[in-house]
């Protein structure tokens, strides 16, 4: 138990200080291995690398095509065209709201969290640029829009965090609707109010938008002729429709989206190869950051004390709602993955939670929704999705994590507590 705690504290502290997770994760995994008497080399070449490689195998096509898609949207001016239209509709002062709504709609539409980050980032960058909002709020805005309520609490969301509990409780995607709606309101409204408050704080200090170090943006492009916003919106709509209506694989949907951008912007054909090259380079760094954290989680899972953690979580409370909420949340924090942590918690303790709940008259629908919400209330510095977001935006934990903690951990935890109370009094 002590070794796991030391490993997690080290990983989070070093990641927060700005040390690259790519080398910190295997280093800290080695520390955990030594403290548990495991062969360090075997643990690294076997367990750690297997976790890392499995993630790359499953997600690299999405990262690659998502990064290329986003880069083409930016370089052809399509992102700026859509951003300007959104600005007209909601006003320049509401850039945070615009990004939040865009990310939430795509996530609830079934688009992968990773794809949402790549697809919306160039639009978000342009909105923040025009509104002169600090880029430090980009990461918490994304986290709120894509990693919280649309991922876990809105009834019917097709994200995997809402689908995993169905296998354990024989429920549906809309289970626990009352709990879900209340939790959604707490997270969405509370998170937005916090971000709006922080934006005013930054503005009062004179801290506005600054260009990313790697940005190729030219500030004198005001005369650039942009594609029509409807034309620019088509590739995004195509991806969402192909994923959710036609039910195509994400790789195919993204590939069609990339081709769609190119066909609709043939006049900019000279930009295609540089954009694709830059997108490909960016995807490598993003996926390595995330997979490094996944590899660390794989090492934690084989430590003998990991079984003790599950036993402790089971005995933490006689109320299955509280025990389940804590079990899923803590496992998600340890593994750095909402879906991974929930999968481990429910596969180990799901049947027990269900049996106890039925004995005292608690609905499986309540267990479903509490598990989903708890999985998302887990965004610590080692979280894989957060690491990807930081890699894509070029920002650091030190610049952004304070606000991420509030909107993606503290407020969702409050929503989780309220959800447990509602379930306990029978409002499901």
- What is the domain range of residue 17? 2-205+225-424
pLDDT of residue 428: 87
In whole angstroms, what is the distance from residue 29 CA to residue 300 CA?
8
State the SS3 of the chain.
CHHHHHHHHHHHHHHHCCCCHHHHHHHHHHHHHHHCCCCHHHHHHHHHHHHHHHHHHHHHHHHHHHHHHHHHHHHCCHHHHHHHHHHHHHCHHHHHHHHHHHHHHHHHCCCCHHHHHHHHHHHHHHHHHHHCCCHHHHHHHHHHHHHCHHHHCCCCCCCHHHHHHHHHHCCCCCCCHHHHHHHHHHHHHHHHHHHHHHHHHHHHCCCCCCCCCCCCCCCCCCCCCCCCHHHHHHHHHHHHHHHHCCCCCHHHHHHHHHHHHHHHCHHHHHHHHHHHHHHHHHHHHHHHHHHHHHHHHHHHHHCCHHHHHHHHHHCCCCCHHHHHHHHHHHHHHHHCCHHHHHHHHHHHHHHHHHHHHHHCCCCHHHHHHHHHHHHHCCCCCCCHHHHHHHHHHCCCHHHHHHHHHHHHHHHHHHHHHHHHHHHHCCCC
Closest CA to 18 of 390, 393, 428: 390
In whole angstroms, what is the distance from residue 78 CA to residue 226 CA?
7
Residue 180 lies in a domain: yes
Residue 105 lies in a domain: yes
Contact call for residues 291 and 382 (beta carbons, < 8 A): no
| Low-confidence residues in the chain, pLDDT < 70 | 110-111, 214-224, 244, 310, 313-314
Quick check: pTM over 0.85? Answer: no
pLDDT of residue 147: 93
pLDDT of residue 314: 66
Tokens (6 digits) for 229: 């916003």
The torsion angles phi and psi of 394, rounded to 5 degrees, stand at 75, 20
Quote the number of domains for the chain: 1
Tokens (6 digits) for 368: 């479903």
Per the listing, tokens 């949402």 go with 116
Residue 39 lies in a domain: yes
User: Which tens digit of pLDDT belongs to each residue from 378-418?
Assistant: 999 888 789 888 888 888 888 999 999 999 999 999 999 99
In whole angstroms, what is the distance from residue 117 CA to residue 144 CA?
12
pLDDT of residue 220: 38
pLDDT of residue 253: 86
N-terminal to C-terminal alpha carbon distance within the chain: 36
Residue 220 lies in a domain: no
Residue 29 lies in a domain: yes
Per the listing, tokens 């997270």 go with 187
Residue 257 lies in a domain: yes
Residue 356 lies in a domain: yes
Cα 230 from chain centre: 28
Residue 184 lies in a domain: yes
Per the listing, tokens 């075997």 go with 42
């Amino acid at each position: 138990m002590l070794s796991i705690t030391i490993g997690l504290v080290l990983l989070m502290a070093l990641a927060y200080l700005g040390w690259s997770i790519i080398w910190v994760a295997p280093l800290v995994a080695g520390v955990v291995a030594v403290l548990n008497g495991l062969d360090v080399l075997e643990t690294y070449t076997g367990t750690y690398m297997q976790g890392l490689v499995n993630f790359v195998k499953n997600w690299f096509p999405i990262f690659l095509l998502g990064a290329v898609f986003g880069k083409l949207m930016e370089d052809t001016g399509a992102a700026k065209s859509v951003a300007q239209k959104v600005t007209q509709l909601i006003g320049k002062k509401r850039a945070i709201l615009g990004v939040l709504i865009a990310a939430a709609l795509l996530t609830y539409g079934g688009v992968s969290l990773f794809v949402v980050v790549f697809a919306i980032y160039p639009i978000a960058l342009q909105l923040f640029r025009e509104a002169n909002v600090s880029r430090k709020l980009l990461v918490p805005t994304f986290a709120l829009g894509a990693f919280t309520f649309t991922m876990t609490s809105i009834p019917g969301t097709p994200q995997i965090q809402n689908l995993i509990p169905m296998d354990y409780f024989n429920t549906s995607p809309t289970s626990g609707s009352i709990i879900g709606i209340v939790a959604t309101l707490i997270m969405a409204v509370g998170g937005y109010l916090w971000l709006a408050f922080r934006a005013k704080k930054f503005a009062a200090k004179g801290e506005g938008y600054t260009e990313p170090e790697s940005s190729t943006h030219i500030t004198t492009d005001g005369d650039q002729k942009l594609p029509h916003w409807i034309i620019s919106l088509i590739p995004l709509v195509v991806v969402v429709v192909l994923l959710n209506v036609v039910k195509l694989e994400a790789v195919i949907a993204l590939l069609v989206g990339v081709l769609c951008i190119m066909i609709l912007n043939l006049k900019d054909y000279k930009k295609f190869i540089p954009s694709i090259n830059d997108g490909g380079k960016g995807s490598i760094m993003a996926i390595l950051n995330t997979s490094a954290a996944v590899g660390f989680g794989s090492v934690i899972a084989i430590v003998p004390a990991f079984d003790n953690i599950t036993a402790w979580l089971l005995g933490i409370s006689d109320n299955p709602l509280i025990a389940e909420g804590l079990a899923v949340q803590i496992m998600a924090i340890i593994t750095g993955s909402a879906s991974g942590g929930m999968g481990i918690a429910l596969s180990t303790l799901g049947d027990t939670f269900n049996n106890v709940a039925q004995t005292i008259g608690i609905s499986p629908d309540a267990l479903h929704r509490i598990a989903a919400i708890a999985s998302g209330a887990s965004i610590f510095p080692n979280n894989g999705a957060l690491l990807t977001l930081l890699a894509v935006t070029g920002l650091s934990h030190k610049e952004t994590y304070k606000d991420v903690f509030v909107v993606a951990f503290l407020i969702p935890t409050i929503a989780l507590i309220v959800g447990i109370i509602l379930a306990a009094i029978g409002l499901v």
